[in-house]
Structure 1
Amino acid sequence: MKNLLLFAGVLALLSSCHRGNVDDEPAMSNLTLNLNGLEDLGGDFLYEGWIIVDGAPVSTGTFSVNASGELSESTFSLDTEMLESATNFVLSIEPVPDPSPDPAPTKLLIGEFNGDMAAVSTGTVAASFDTVAGEYILATPTGTGAENEKYSGLWFLNNSSGSPMVGLELPTLNDGWKYEGWAVIDGVPVTTGTFTAVDDFDEADPFSGSNPGPPFPGEDFLHNAPSGLTFPTDLRGGVAVISIEPYPDNSPMPFTLKPLVGMIPADAMGVQALGDNVSASFPTGTVSR
């Protein structure tokens, strides 16, 4: 009888210890991402999700995206209590290797939880893209002005008054982002330079001539043509683009965010308009917990 009582006591003790270990383990719940429009960042960058808990970011994990836009991971297991306390979800672009445990300035998406769901958008890139507009001209102010060069330059300005004026209406970007102009020449995107101000020079002129250009974003395509292209060229029939690029940039090609895009007419003369491309090129989606 004593042995039976002792055995029962040991079982009770073991059972109690086991229950205590289970109770010490935090409950876990899934965070699920349903995101569209993300692009492959290449081998040097990853996407990283964050939940905001008591005003502080908590990483939900990193993932990549393939050429088809498929996420390598879309479900992440997190502490239930922490997840339920989260007020927002943020998606950032992080370098590999990542030197910091904090989110990079390049934050692509944000959304506020409403119950168990957060609809995410690019509110971290700029305050709003409700109003964007663009105009440009074809001209080669940095060249000789020869007839065969007049259609080989793209400048985001309006000169209809006789003097060059601002041609772009774009919101101020948050840290971690820059605008970049592009001319698509024979199917090849060629940069006109990155910029943050629409009323000043952009940050590079690798293809321009020796004469000074106007203090607006733009480029003459006269020298140093990329492989497969010949400068001077004729931009008519191509495409003019304004993109938004991560900074640091993940690729020499245009990023997925292209707020302004316009075909360059074959008979382009004078000031041309760029079309609003925000809804077509900006990622969207939901995050559920």
Structure 2
Amino acid sequence: MKKLILAVLAISVFATACSNDDDNTPATAQLTLNLSGLEALGNDFVYEGWLIVDGAPVSTGTFSSVKFPQSFTVDAMQLEEASTFVLSIEPAVDSDPAPAPTKILAGDFSGDMANVSSNGIVADFSAASGTYILATPTDGADNNEFSGVWFLSLETGSPTVGLNLPALSAGWKYEGWAVIDGTPVSTGTFSSASGFDDNASTSMFKGDMGDGPMFPGEDYIQNAPSGLTFPTDLRDATIVVSVEPYPDNSAAPFTLKPLAHQVPATANDHEDLTLGNGPVMSLSGTVSR
């Protein structure tokens, strides 16, 4: 009987060893994100995390909720070997396994923690500044000059660049806004402060006398959005420069807003007005493993 029991035990141990040898399931570990300032992207886009392992991106999964902390189950060895964490904005239906150009947060691991930020991966706005004027050059009239905003300076007597902004990483564009009676209305997107914005020739708001000067800006002359009336008076309105993902499926400003200014009630048209720091100049958070 003892020999029989020993034989059964030996077979059992052998079978268990073989089972373990044949089990190629990789060990997993938890990656935890604790991020602040992100906003919901709507139905067309999602956030996706990436580990940079030996220089190559490895997805940690997608998410839509912006409530944190959130945890993700990932390959333990890849997590241990990762040098950097990156967060990108991706199409909700995405056939491309690689990260999109629109990367919003990044940071290197130090031990089990990575401090991630939008500075660098989007741009660093700590030195951003700018001026703008109120004027309506696209309609030829002089009785509604407070109904247009142009990001330029008239300090020298002639129009010059009004915005001091860093170059953006791929996947991002600037966009100007006038917040009129609580409603943000775009002035158009742009990549350079020294040329026309993207909608200069197609704007539905501008007047019929031309596209205006070769700087970002807008005249709010006609075709006002519901609830507003154009021409308008931008005194007491808030002027904002935001940073937008490109492409962008939202008609509202994105969370990154490096420059802003409430137009003084006593402002004059065709005078330089100074933009200050906006409400959100950077995004940040921590990633732990």
TM-score, normalising length: structure 2: 0.93
Q: 1:183 aligns with which of 178, 189, 197?
A: 178
- Matched with 2:237 is 238
For 1:43 and 1:8, the matched residues in 2 are separated by 57
Q: Deviations over 1:80-116 (max 9, x none)?
A: 1111111100000011111211101100011011111
Q: Deviations over 1:151-183 (max 9, x none)?
A: 000000001221001000000111100000000
What SS does structure 2 have at the residue aligned with 1:12?
A: helix
What SS does structure 1 have at the residue aligned with 2:77?
A: helix
Residue type at the aligned position of 2:62: T
For 2:153 and 2:79, the matched residues in 1 are separated by 50
Q: Deviations over 1:185-225 (max 9, x none)?
A: 11100000000010000011221112231100000000111
For 1:241 and 1:8, the matched residues in 2 are separated by 75
What SS does structure 2 have at the residue aligned with 1:243?
A: strand
What SS does structure 2 have at the residue aligned with 1:11?
A: helix
- Matched with 1:91 is 87
For 2:158 and 2:70, the matched residues in 1 are separated by 52
Contact 1:256/1:282 (<8 A) preserved:
no
Residue type at the aligned position of 1:245: E
Q: 1:125 aligns with which of 115, 122, 141?
A: 122
State yes or no: 1:70 paired with 2:67: yes
State yes or no: 1:195 paired with 2:190: yes
- Matched with 1:30 is 30
- Matched with 1:273 is 274
- Matched with 1:115 is 111
For 1:5 and 1:115, the matched residues in 2 are separated by 48
Residue type at the aligned position of 1:56: A
What SS does structure 1 have at the residue aligned with 2:16?
A: helix
For 2:103 and 2:204, the matched residues in 1 are separated by 29
Matches within 5 A, 1:1-289: 1=1, 2-21=3-22, 24-65=24-65, 69-71=66-68, 74-122=70-118, 123-126=120-123, 128-147=124-143, 149-204=144-199, 205-212=203-210, 213-269=212-268, 270-277=271-278, 280-289=280-289
Unaligned runs of 5+ in 2: none
Residue type at the aligned position of 1:42: G
Q: Deviations over 1:230-272 (max 9, x none)?
A: 1000010010000000001031110001010110111112111
Offset at 1:21? 4.6
For 2:204 and 2:244, the matched residues in 1 are separated by 18
Residue type at the aligned position of 2:148: G
For 2:95 and 2:263, the matched residues in 1 are separated by 43
What SS does structure 2 have at the residue aligned with 1:277?
A: strand
Residue type at the aligned position of 2:67: E
Residue type at the aligned position of 2:179: V
Contact 2:60/2:72 (<8 A) preserved:
yes
Residue type at the aligned position of 1:99: S
Question: Could you tell me the percent identity over the aligned residues?
Answer: 56
For 1:61 and 1:54, the matched residues in 2 are separated by 19
For 1:208 and 1:59, the matched residues in 2 are separated by 44
Residue type at the aligned position of 2:72: F
For 1:264 and 1:99, the matched residues in 2 are separated by 45
Residue type at the aligned position of 2:265: A
Contact 1:37/1:281 (<8 A) preserved:
no
Residue type at the aligned position of 1:70: K
